[in-house]
Structure 1
Amino acid sequence: MKKFISGLLAMLCVIAISGCANKQTTSTNEKEVTLVLDYLPNTNHTGIYVAQKNGYFKEEGLKVNIIEPGDNNTSAALVAAGKGQFGVSYQEDVTYALTAQDPMPIKAIATIIQHNTSGFVALKDSGITSPKDFEGKTYAGWQSPSEEAVINAVMKSVNADPSKLKMVGADGNGLSQLNSGIDLLWEFKGWAITKAEMEGMNFNYMPLNELDERLDYYTPVIITNNEMLEKDPQTVQKFMNAVKKGYEYAIDNPDASAEILHEYIPDYDIAFLKKSQAYLSEEYAKDAQSWGVMKDSVWDGYTDFMYENGLIDKKISADTQYTNEFVK
């Protein structure tokens, strides 16, 4: 009898705890939400971790769980499915999601960085300084349709023949592949390139946003789902208040914000994080009135590029893909 009562009480406790969890609140009456990253934590995400560490989320009455998407999911898919209320994604993924046969109910609510900080990279002594030099070379990448479309476009723009570039899959060793028979990679200036330069490698870097203005798209962006926008815009605003405050702190305090990020990713060298952060702190709101604000011209430009290159089968307007409502 005692065992039966004990078991019953334990089961009731589990039910009670589950019920509390389903309400997405904590014992301190903070509203609990989940943010799904696009990848492993890095300096793209610094403002988010600053908001966590400095209590900006708590000031807004929020408890934010920060998770990674896992190998078989994207943040866009998880946020669309309600597995997270917010996510870090990319402009192209948002456009793909909204032009799919079964569109995902998501929208971008801020850009983390104002300009595309990625580009093609080759060793300094390779002689590769322009897409015109790509002919006869070997490129290693993730072999996606959008990647191939970008390479074809930038080569054709200088009358180079894309069929003369050999494209293979990356081996996961980053920029060290350039010492192993690979001539070209596509990397981000503020992370992989900065790290390799600190290790003594020298590069020719060709920024995408200088090769074609339509390639100066937003990457990464913060997204939410339509249910949050329609039913709980107050929480969206509170979340973005805290995140914006975090990135504004990172813009003004690159070293201190790098130290905060280091607490969450201690395996990375602090000198590298500070170098990376110094670069990105200048890029977060570059040429913008304030952090996070986006433009129709950027969304329309890359949507046109995707359509012209057969990546999507219809165009959609910028205002269906993003809103500045929560970062003004």
Structure 2
Amino acid sequence: MNPSRLLAPGLAGLALLLGTSAVLAESLKVGYLPVTGHAKFFVAQEQGFFKEEGLNVELIEFANSADGLNAVVANKLDVGAFGTTAPLVHYAKGADLRIIGGIMGEDAAIVVKAENADKIRSVADLRGKKVATVRLATGDAVLRGALKDAQVNWKTDLEIFELKNPPAVLEAVKSGQVDAGVVWGPHDIRAEQQGLKVVIRSSELQPGHPCCRLVVRSEKLQDKKVLRHFLRAILKAEKFAAENRKETIDAIQKYVKLDRELLEQAYYSPHLEQRSDPNIEGTRQFWDVLVSSEFVANTRPVDPIFEVKLYNSALKSLAKEQPKESFWQERIDEAKRRDVL
């Protein structure tokens, strides 16, 4: 007799005992950056929201958005959250990508040595200076757009150096190799702890700008049910993080190896937005900035990059399960303003 036939009834019984999610769990490879703004990934993993949704998620760390988005494009990741600039730049070049949600917004900052803080009060003061950024970072694109608005040519009027990650930017500023650097949380707080000064925040240059969109290759949209469950887990994590500080910082600390107090200050910062929607309105504006600042060539319309039905379906399903929970209704109302195609 075939041994597998003997095992089959036992496995079926085990499935009934453990529940179908244990047997039917869908595997997803999800790319992230080791920053406080990506806390919802960590909370969803540590609080079991991915498992609740029948998902077996492997979180894969990347040093910067450029490397992470390359992995999405190369089909090495199922989902990635790597800035707003990186996916839009790839999309402008013809990549078949879709934005299904978001992880964070704003949060970037320009830092300088304390003795230079009075000399650099606006982006116009960067004329003739050396500035370090992280390649394809959201803050980098926001800066270049602001320079264009200030009639400063970022190609000729200053030198921009694209480094690998925020710690490298901080070291370049501290050592005097550059005059200013663009980083994001929690590295803005780390900069101040190391004696540097935040002189400009990205929210001042482009209020409400999105960062770190949830991006997939369009072929992944065939797995609509899986992606819907993924977005449900992210939304659950957003709600949990808004209501449970200690457990949220516990989760972040497992993935971002920095001081607990610093992580809490960075995550619950007024400069960090934590919405999970695609933010179509904000991303359109960001695209316009990329085009006007000549960061990308306007070769295709941006609206086809958005897939909002999955987010709306995930959100409304949670609201239906908890009809008295105002958190979900607030998000539904926001989506009616921010996510209209």
TM-score in terms of structure 2 length: 0.72
Q: Which residue of 1 aligns with 2:237?
A: 246
Distance 1:88 1:110 in 2: 9
Q: Which residue of 1 aligns with 2:82?
A: 89
Q: Deviations over 1:255-294 (max 9, x none)?
A: 32011222344x42222222222217x7334xxxxx3223
Q: Pick one of 109, 124, 149 that aligns with 1:119.
A: 109
Q: Which residue of 2 aligns with 1:232?
A: 223
Q: Following TM superposition, where does structure 1 have runs of at least 4 consecutive aligned residues deviating by more than 6 angstroms?
A: 70-73, 143-149
Q: Which residue of 2 aligns with 1:270?
A: 260
Residue 307 of structure 2 corresponds to residue 283 of structure 1: no
CA gap of 1:139–1:63, structure 2 versus 1, over 3 A, is: same
Is this contact kept in 1: 2:85–2:137, CA < 8 A? no
Q: CA RMSD in A?
A: 3.2
Q: Which shifted more, 199-208 or 253-262?
A: 199-208
Q: Pick one of 177, 199, 211 that aligns with 2:205.
A: 211
Is this contact kept in 1: 2:186–2:266, CA < 8 A? yes
Residue 53 of structure 2 corresponds to residue 60 of structure 1: yes
Q: Which residue of 1 aligns with 2:10?
A: none
Deviation at 1:164, TM superposition (A): 4.4
Deviation at 1:327, TM superposition (A): 2.8
Question: Structure 1: which amino acid aligns with 2:174?
Answer: N
Residue 186 of structure 2 corresponds to residue 196 of structure 1: no
Alignment of 1:96-115 (within 5 A): 96-100=89-93, 103-113=94-104, 115=105
Distance 1:95 1:219 in 2: 11
Alignment of 1:1-328 (within 5 A): 28-37=23-32, 39=33, 41-69=34-62, 74-100=67-93, 103-113=94-104, 115-126=105-116, 127=118, 128-142=120-134, 151=143, 153-160=145-152, 163-168=156-161, 170=163, 173-181=168-176, 182-188=178-184, 190-197=185-192, 199-212=193-206, 217-229=209-221, 231-265=222-256, 267-279=257-269, 283-285=272-274, 291-328=275-312
TM-score in terms of structure 1 length: 0.75
Q: Deviations over 1:137-195 (max 9, x none)?
A: 3323357799887555433533556544344465954324333223211111x211112
Question: Structure 1: which amino acid aligns with 2:272?
Answer: E
Task: Tell me the SS of whatever aligns to 1:313.
Answer: coil
Q: Which shifted more, 128-137 or 231-240?
A: 128-137
Distance 1:224 1:68 in 2: 16
Is this contact kept in 2: 1:132–1:155, CA < 8 A? yes
Deviation at 1:69, TM superposition (A): 4.6
Distance 1:142 1:77 in 2: 15
Question: Structure 2: which amino acid aligns with 1:165?
Answer: L
* Structure 2: unaligned runs, 5 residues or longer: 1-19, 313-341
* Structure 1: unaligned runs, 5 residues or longer: 1-24, 286-290
CA gap of 1:252–1:324, structure 2 versus 1, over 3 A, is: farther
Between the aligned residues of both structures, percent identity stands at: 20
Deviation at 1:56, TM superposition (A): 0.8
Distance 2:231 2:237 in 1: 10
Distance 1:118 1:50 in 2: 22
Distance 1:72 1:137 in 2: 25
